[in-house]
Each structure stands twice: as C-alpha cells, then as structure tokens.
Structure 1
Amino acid sequence: MPTQQEIELQAAAFRRLQKHLMEDRTDVQNIDMMNLAGFCRNCLSRWYAEAAAEKGIEIGKEEARELFYGMSMQEWKATYQTEATDDQQKAFKTAFKENVGQE
C-alpha cells in the first residue's frame, strides 16, 4: 500500500503531466500520442473517470474530458486539433484496438 507521501508525489507527477500536455505541448496531437505511445489525453481523462468510479464517484465521459482538458472537447478541437492524415487514421485504428479495445 502506498504511503500518503507516495500518493502525493504520484498526484503531483500526474498534475505535471497534465500541465505539460494541456499547456506546454498543445501542438502534440492525440492521434500521434495514441499511435506512438498507446494512450492520449482522452485515455487519461477516461482513466480519471475510472479511478473516480472505483471510489463510487460517477463522472461521465464528457465531464471527465472537460476536467482533464480544462475546456470542452469542442473548444479543444477548434483551438488545437489538426486534420489527421489517412496514414495517421489507419495507424490509429490499430493502436486503438490494441490499447483500448473495440470502438
């Protein structure tokens, strides 16, 4: 069982990752993250909601995304998302299936 200090350090590391992805590296596209690393910002928001559910806290998909992104998905997409190429989309289908499961 992690100590309180370990939990606090893990939470701090998560907050730093979130800041890095949401403020420092908005140029990195989710599709590239998924294709290269097998996870993206949406996965992190889903994991947040799953962790909440384990504690009996219900957070919907859109609410979790807004909590993680600090804005709605529509706002994020309009501000930062670029059009994916055909090759990126093909690679994404494979990466999604391998790392998340079926759509």
Structure 2
Amino acid sequence: MQSKLAKILIIEESVKRILTLKVKRGIIKEQNPQSVDENIANAEKIVVVAGSFSYSFKNAILAKHDNMVMIRSYSPLDASQVAELENAKTVIVGSYT
C-alpha cells in the first residue's frame, strides 16, 4: 500500500504533466508572475524616454512622482532599456520637434 506522501507526489506529477501539455498546446498561457518585491518596486513606475532637454523634463516629473526612471537616448533602445519600459505603469516619450 502506498504512503500518503507517495500518493501526493503522484498527483502532483500528474497535474504538472497535464498543465505542461495544456501550455504546449496553447490551451492555457504560461504565466511567470512578478514577485511581491517586484510589484512593490514597480508600483506606479514611470519611465521617461527623452533626448534634448531631458534633465529639466526629468526634474519636473520627479517633483510630482518619485518612482521614475529616466532613459536618455538618441538611438534605438538596448535590451535593458526595453525591459524598463515593459515593467513601467506609464511611459512618457519626449521629443524635440
């Protein structure tokens, strides 16, 4: 007779196998939720992307909101900058036109 722990392990493996199959077939989406610490760090996070006049722009936003990241860029964004944008609640793009 199987122990209670062995039965639980068999059930967990079965659930894992079924969910993996459903993800592979597109029945459900794979989820990678953010940790609580990441959610707190990114709460109402604003990312500002600007070139010219970026420092005065940054200071004006920081006066009202302290969870802000500044990306000063005159060329295409790199992977780390794109990651900042993906984690932001709001993205502000400034241009000189």
Q: Same fold (TM over 0.5)?
A: no
Tell me: higher relative CO, structure 1 or 2? Use CA pairs within 8 A at least 6 residues apart. 2
What TM bracket, shorter-length normalisation?
Answer: under 0.3
TM-score (norm 2): 0.27
1 or 2, which has the higher strand percentage? 2
Larger radius of gyration, structure 1 or 2? 2
